[in-house]
Structure 1
Amino acid sequence: MLDAINDTSLMIVEDDDALRGRLARAMDRRGFDVREASSLSEAMAQADTELPKYAVVDLRLLDGSGLSFVETLEQRDPGIRAIILTGYGNIPTAVAAVRAGAIDFIAKPATADEIVEALIRPRNEHPPAPSAPMTPDAARREHIEHVFHELDGNVSKTARALDMHRRTLQRLLKRYGDV
Structure 2
Amino acid sequence: MDETIALRAADLPEDATCLIVDDDQPFRTRLGRAMEKRGFSPILAESVSEATRLIAAAPPAFAVVDLRLEDGDGIEVVNQLHESRPDARAIILTGYGNITTAVAAVKAGAIDYLAKPADADDVLKSLLAGPGEMPEPPENPMSADRVRWEHIQRVYELCNHNVSETARRLGMHRRTLQRILAKRAPI
TM-score normalized with structure 1 length: 0.79
In the TM superposition, 1:15-34 aligns within 5 A as: 15-34=23-42
In the TM superposition, 1:135-174 aligns within 5 A as: 135-142=143-150, 163=167, 164-165=174-175, 168-169=179-180, 172-173=183-184
Return the alpha-carbon distance in structure 2 between the equivalents of residues 116 and 134 of structure 1.
Answer: 18
Q: Is residue 146–residue 186 contact of structure 2 (8 Å, CA) maintained in 1?
A: no
1:44 and 2:55 are equivalent in the alignment: no
1:119 aligned residue (103, 123, 127): 127
- Report the equivalent of 2:3: none
TM-score normalized with structure 2 length: 0.76
Q: Is residue 159–residue 169 contact of structure 1 (8 Å, CA) maintained in 2?
A: no
Structure 1: stretches of 5+ with no match in the other structure: 151-156
In the TM superposition, 1:62-141 aligns within 5 A as: 62-129=70-137, 134-141=142-149
2:64 aligned residue (56, 66, 75): 56
Return the alpha-carbon distance in structure 2 between the equivalents of residues 60 and 132 of structure 1.
Answer: 22
Shift in CA distance, 129/115, structure 1 to aligned 2, threshold 3 Å: closer
1:82: how far off?
0.4
Moved more, 37-46 or 158-167: 158-167
Identity %: 44
1:130: how far off?
6.0
Q: Is residue 25–residue 46 contact of structure 2 (8 Å, CA) maintained in 1?
A: yes
Q: Is residue 55–residue 81 contact of structure 1 (8 Å, CA) maintained in 2?
A: yes
Root-mean-square deviation over aligned CA pairs: 2.8
Return the alpha-carbon distance in structure 2 between the equivalents of residues 130 and 13 of structure 1.
Answer: 21
